[in-house]
Chain A
């Protein structure tokens, strides 16, 4: 992108030179280029004081001066973090290679040779000032984006059930409910929710928008408003998902979509009925039989056309027994796709053993040990949102 020429009129330049004629002629050259805010110093020590007092955008610095020479002044400047980025242009009559290298070693940004050639001088001054301006603009932009990202992260988290709400729902339905949610460094598109449907039925939804970044996060807000438009009470999960799909197809551009799990747990008939749209395979656990020594743990098929890709998508209901003592574990793909330096990602097939190991450590709240073992093997910051929800029926 072409950068518009920078106006030099609001730039401040400090000229440090022990020779009055040089100071005046340099000032004349840059004044013609539009720079009017100019201060002077006669040696390095005065120069350092002037930098603190005058806060220049650029220093034109002579090398050979009494009290403190230009190299010493520049080295002193660079030791101070505040002035690390301040452009310093040496003006030097010494045109040996060694002397010029010395200017850069002292921390100079560039140099101009004496006698001063007005055109070259202005061009180099302008170049340095433009670079400084771009740099500070970028730094300010980055800071602003980071502030906004963390604000958006907080908003995204506020859409999810709070701890207190989890406890309320768990008590009402005789469940153990634990959840973990962490947004990626760049924001993500995970969402999950709990929906009480009378005294014996509970809706469970988990959605993951493709990709990450601000777009994915915005989609979770869209979703949040859509959910309220479709009552869950009297429709099968597959129908509800089909309605959500059609609504998302209207608002999502091609290439953006979501995977989803939507299930209804019916306590009266000990049954979980769900429809899925390409979410990672949920884990279902049922208590062992009379002679069994541990729960029966398996991955459930969750294939289904992702939400928002086609208006014609159809979903199927799948039903499984989920009696007292049984559990359901839902998670977003970050759990199986994010890896570390030593161990690769967990992968879908390893999830049942991952759950089994955690149950051996904590039979009631295995989510804690699961997350400990995930974070122990995974490189941070996470590249994608991680959501994990543990739903168990109390025995």
Chain B
């Protein structure tokens, strides 16, 4: 998985791409660091470039949600499509995380 941070005047964004899976745990640490350094009270996590997510990847989304909560940032996850969207819906993560399509 790759990620890119976009700091705009509006809401900052973290864009994920590739495959988000078990082996990406080190990346997660980097993303959490980015998240903590972002200004403002809202952050968008863009999954449009993500091709695949496994159960470990879903767990990482839950971790990012908790990290955002602990620093009072509203995390908005958007752009999930195809199999990624399907996996997220199957696991009903929308009960915990805010998704925008």
Contact A254 B86, CB 8 Å, known A210-B55, A309-B96, A310-B95: no
Asked whether B95 lies within 8 Å of A313 as measured between CB atoms, the reply is: yes
Known: A255-B63, A304-B91, A305-B95. 5 other contacts (CB 8 A): A210-B56, A211-B56, A213-B22, A278-B92, A306-B93
B89 within 8 A of A: yes
Within 8 A of A (CB), among B77-94: 83, 86, 89-93
State how many residues of chain A have any CB contact under 8 Å with chain B. Answer: 29
B1 within 8 A of A: no
Contact A303 B89, CB 8 Å, known A212-B22, A310-B96, A313-B95: yes
Instruction: Looking at the assembled complex, report how far the CB atom of A133 sits from the nearest CB atom of chain B, in whole angstroms.
Output: 27
Contact A278 B86, CB 8 Å, known A211-B55, A211-B59: no
User: Which residues of A come within 8 Å of B, CB atoms?
Assistant: 208, 210-213, 254-257, 259, 277-278, 280-281, 302-306, 309-310, 312-313, 333, 337, 347-348, 383-384
Instruction: Looking at the assembled complex, report how far the CB atom of A244 sits from the nearest CB atom of chain B, in whole angstroms.
Output: 16
Asked whether A306 lies within 8 Å of B56 as measured between CB atoms, the reply is: no
Asked whether B89 lies within 8 Å of A256 as measured between CB atoms, the reply is: no
Asked whether A306 lies within 8 Å of B54 as measured between CB atoms, the reply is: no
When the two chains form the complex, which single residue of A212, A306, A348 contacts B91, counting CB atoms closer than 8 Å? A306
Task: Report, as a range, how many residues of chain B touch the other chain.
Answer: 10 to 19
B20 within 8 A of A: no
> Which 3 A-B residue pairings sit nearest by Cβ, starting from the closest?
A278-B91, A210-B55, A211-B56
Asked whether A302 lies within 8 Å of B90 as measured between CB atoms, the reply is: yes
Asked whether B95 lies within 8 Å of A257 as measured between CB atoms, the reply is: no
State A94–B81 Cα separation when bound (angstroms): 67
